[in-house]
Structure 1
């Protein structure tokens, strides 16, 4: 085909041709337009049309539409696959078809008898294209099926080197992209491409990998690669590279889940604990408290862990549990982590555990005990030069001071924390210091300084996508707007903050509960219950991104009278 097109173009210089092909022709002047699956609406309509032919009377009702959309998404919007799935509606309901997609090649077998053999089943379609790959391309494609949710070139090279050590991975990957076996995607914020397999092709490759008997070897290499990545992330999540690491871990989260599952399924408790312990700050920052805690608890229950790994996992459980409001489990885990740190002579670990014990006791409003624990944590951190632990001890001292209604000390602690954390560069900590400072200024009556601090908190937490930080900043923004007479906007921000907190499944300090109740009562008194509730629900349903922009604008605006 390529030679034919070249001859035509040379003989007819003004000729323009549209060609469809399973891969690029690689001729001069070629412009490639890759065809993706059907968009959701078109895919759903195609399914409905073919389902009605298979089962007269089928209608796309609001009740079945979500299940149909789920089936189409699982089939990557591929028209043939959707047609084959819809043809099964003569014997199955939509939910049954969706359930059976785990074995899609068995489900999607019966096509039209008058069609070409290679178009009669989903397997036959892919078999035909797969058989046209070179042996090296088939081998690497099968290996790539071990990745979940995409991969980088470096990951593919590291994991699949076992399969074809003499092969140039860049060339093979390029050819697989050309032949549409691999999708290449350029993220908006990253210079490097990511790659992924359509779920149907990934399922096919996984079957071939099992046939080769290489699943265990590839999953082991996959787990090792992401274990190394997690180890690098553990330090990065505390420092100036925090935003970049959050983005990287978000992109690789499905792979990290797969690695964790593999370690746990195969009895590798130490590896599971090391990985989960390394990335728990990611779960904390992104609001995945329930999921993160489940992985950490499973790692603890999986078997014996070395003391350093067990300590790290216990502190992960502590962090997520206390923010969920489970003080009992947080206290138990933190006490074990403290004992292990003392036994190991780990001053930084000890300070970390004491910090959280001091934080936990604040939820029960045992302020004197919290004061003693945080004083010890601060002293240990100062003596050992543990800057990160010292900075967070001062953050928790600031929350203690807010609980005690000591606004001056709360503000002073945030400034001292900022100074301690300057060499570390922990952006999340800077966000919490701005938020706490804003809260102290607000309740102390300095609304101008409160606005300055809250604007900084909004910017930082939005950059990190920090769900809990955003929820609390939205709440305080609502308080400030209430004082400025913007009750309608205040209600929306209070609703948005509560919704984010509910989404993450976190608890809230008693003093914040009191502040929220006071603000809601004032908003309802001014707007009326129905209007206040409507505005609250409007905020609760809003995406947080435009709210950040609105919050920055409203906080900067001058106070106005009215609603």
Structure 2
């Protein structure tokens, strides 16, 4: 790609942060192009210079020009290069960027000259073509770390090469490939960081090295003595970048370290001002930091620009933020900004903008983790409770159940005895998490305390919601009469409050209950009413759940094709919502449809895929649903035979969620698949 750029532009700048491999790439390009330049390729090392006026004399020396008493160095170099076919590699230009005008003058006077620059910052010349040097290729997150699947990635190859230089018998094995993959991911694919980590295998096997990577900057030292000092430790490399910034840029850079993974400009304005005026416009500062390779720019799904730091750079920036005395104010404001964002999201999560806001919260998930960690470090239970309370719905909907459990337990432990809205909401969320594990005693205990607080505070909507949740626990355990009483009580409260969402949810639950009681026609009537309300609100989650329950009711009535179509419509919505838990439920429903149409291999695969998803997020089938699924599983096992069933089941467990969804959407496509088992 760089060679292509040089074929169309005579000035190409390789930009990127320290340690990303700019010099290595430039030298390799020079080697490959040496035959194209009759007067050679010349590497001009500028790292030791701080004075821009010394750039031209250094170029002169590199190309063999002797100093003259009769002409300036610039005139001498122009005269020498005017008729030459030459490639100059100007390495580490960032400290002498004010010499860019001299480079432009050389290019204008020497038509056969081409210049390849390495720099943290661009030269800002009209003729310049920038090439941001990307990190080395990394295995994708979620990609199985098997030797055959990851060996071709550049980051893995570099790690193995440098590790062998330190320990000749080192090799990537099935036992260490997972650790090596995680090491290069955590190091952002930066060549310098990977090289410094790899030499440590002389003493530390990859598993031990990975454990010590929580402090990258302290571990990644000890580069070769023949390298410049800035390349002998990762901290020195980033120090070099930081020292190039003016004071106002340094302030902004370290304050932006409060963000984890990324941020938009609105959030940056809020957080950057928390510890006082940084002394420059935030937009201008962000643009400058991007230009100097300390921030990376990306685009979110809605097209707004986002910015972020590589994790190695952020670790350094957090250190200097703490040392500056600005850390407390900056991180506190960061937490408050994202609390406000989550509160805005809550008002949008049950309507037409539901998917967009779920995706926004997912995009900011690492920022919420950082905010929660900060609240914990500051022993601020009020802030922690507020954050956890507003995030419970997001966590449960997107399948982050283990994480939700962790933060809920922390918040509840810190707020023991509190009688607040937030504690009641967290208790409600914690009951849902306990229900996912089928720990119904814990679920009821959480709901009972929540209900006491809600009644004490007069929270009528909370009371109606908690009573409905108690009905869900009874329904899970097939205690249908008790569930019905709770649902009817909840529905009456929702009607008093004229709460359409609450009414539609409870009607859906009553429809599910009627179907479980064997009253499929009555179930469909209630579910249709609920579905209409959800459609009016454009609540995709509610629509998807109603469709899934309607699929079960119509299958009970023998309308198998209709059941499959309803379940597929539901599954498509669950996919859009990113709701792993309900995707698993819907895979079960389509597996049961597959049993009915005698597509037994597909049924076994879908049951296996559902089981794998449940294990991944820690959500078991409720007893009532487990009984129903076991009937379908036993039919498929008995007709396929144990071995064939097990093979198909295992195929399903190995499917990624997207693969399993695609496989489920093909139910009914089998030849002859419209007939039922009993036909």
Normalised by the shorter chain, which TM-score bucket? over 0.9
Q: Which of residues 457, 462, 470 is equivalent to 2:575?
A: 462
Residues of 1 paired with 2:419 and 2:304: CA distance? Answer: 37
SS at 1:516 equivalent: helix
Q: Does 1:91 align with 2:210?
A: no
Q: Which of residues 359, 381, 389 is equivalent to 1:269?
A: 381
The equivalent residue for 2:280 is 167
Query: Is residue 177–residue 184 contact of structure 1 (8 Å, CA) maintained in 2?
Result: yes
Query: Is residue 233–residue 279 contact of structure 1 (8 Å, CA) maintained in 2?
Result: no
Q: Does 1:213 align with 2:311?
A: no
SS at 1:33 equivalent: strand
Q: Which of residues 244, 249, 258 is equivalent to 1:146?
A: 258
Q: CA deviation at 1:79?
A: 1.4
The equivalent residue for 1:427 is 540
Q: CA deviation at 1:165?
A: 4.7
Q: Does 1:67 align with 2:179?
A: yes
Residues of 2 paired with 1:557 and 1:96: CA distance? Answer: 50
Residues of 1 paired with 2:229 and 2:379: CA distance? Answer: 45
Matches within 5 A, 1:289-300: 289-300=401-412
The equivalent residue for 1:445 is 558
The equivalent residue for 1:31 is 129
Q: Which of residues 379, 387, 399 is equivalent to 2:512?
A: 399
Q: Does 1:243 align with 2:355?
A: yes
Residues of 2 paired with 1:404 and 1:283: CA distance? Answer: 31
Instruction: Name which of structure 1's ranges 98-107 and 469-478 shifts more when overlaid on structure 2.
Output: 98-107
Instruction: Name which of structure 1's ranges 354-363 and 447-456 shifts more when overlaid on structure 2.
Output: 447-456
Query: Is residue 293–residue 320 contact of structure 1 (8 Å, CA) maintained in 2?
Result: yes
Q: CA deviation at 1:15?
A: 6.9
Q: Which of residues 483, 491, 494 is equivalent to 2:607?
A: 494
Question: Which structure carries more strand by proportion?
Answer: 2
Residues of 1 paired with 2:507 and 2:127: CA distance? Answer: 63
Unaligned runs of 5+ in 2: 1-98, 139-152
The equivalent residue for 2:141 is none
Residues of 2 paired with 1:172 and 1:275: CA distance? Answer: 30
Residues of 1 paired with 2:419 and 2:306: CA distance? Answer: 35
Query: Is residue 614–residue 620 contact of structure 2 (8 Å, CA) maintained in 1?
Result: yes
Matches within 5 A, 1:174-253: 174-187=287-300, 189-253=301-365
- Per the alignment, do residues 276 and 382 of structure 1 end up closer, same or farther by CA in structure 2, a change over 3 Å counting? same
Residues of 2 paired with 1:353 and 1:380: CA distance? Answer: 11
Query: Is residue 137–residue 176 contact of structure 1 (8 Å, CA) maintained in 2?
Result: yes
* Superposed CA RMSD: 2.1
Q: Which of residues 495, 511, 525 is equivalent to 1:382?
A: 495
Unaligned runs of 5+ in 1: none
Q: CA deviation at 1:17?
A: 4.6
Q: CA deviation at 1:413?
A: 2.0
Q: CA deviation at 1:159?
A: 0.6
Q: CA deviation at 1:225?
A: 0.7
Q: Which of residues 101, 119, 123 is equivalent to 1:21?
A: 119
Question: Which structure carries more helix by proportion?
Answer: 1
Q: CA deviation at 1:549?
A: 3.1
Q: Does 1:55 align with 2:167?
A: yes
Q: Does 1:156 align with 2:156?
A: no
Query: Is residue 239–residue 427 contact of structure 1 (8 Å, CA) maintained in 2?
Result: yes
Q: CA deviation at 1:14?
A: 8.7
Q: CA deviation at 1:548?
A: 2.5
Residues of 2 paired with 1:291 and 1:117: CA distance? Answer: 42
SS at 1:31 equivalent: strand
The equivalent residue for 1:351 is 464
Residues of 1 paired with 2:111 and 2:661: CA distance? Answer: 55
Query: Is residue 599–residue 670 contact of structure 2 (8 Å, CA) maintained in 1?
Result: no
SS at 1:145 equivalent: helix
Q: Deviations over 1:521-556 (max 9, x none)?
A: 222233221111111111111122233334334346
SS at 1:76 equivalent: coil
Q: CA deviation at 1:424?
A: 3.2
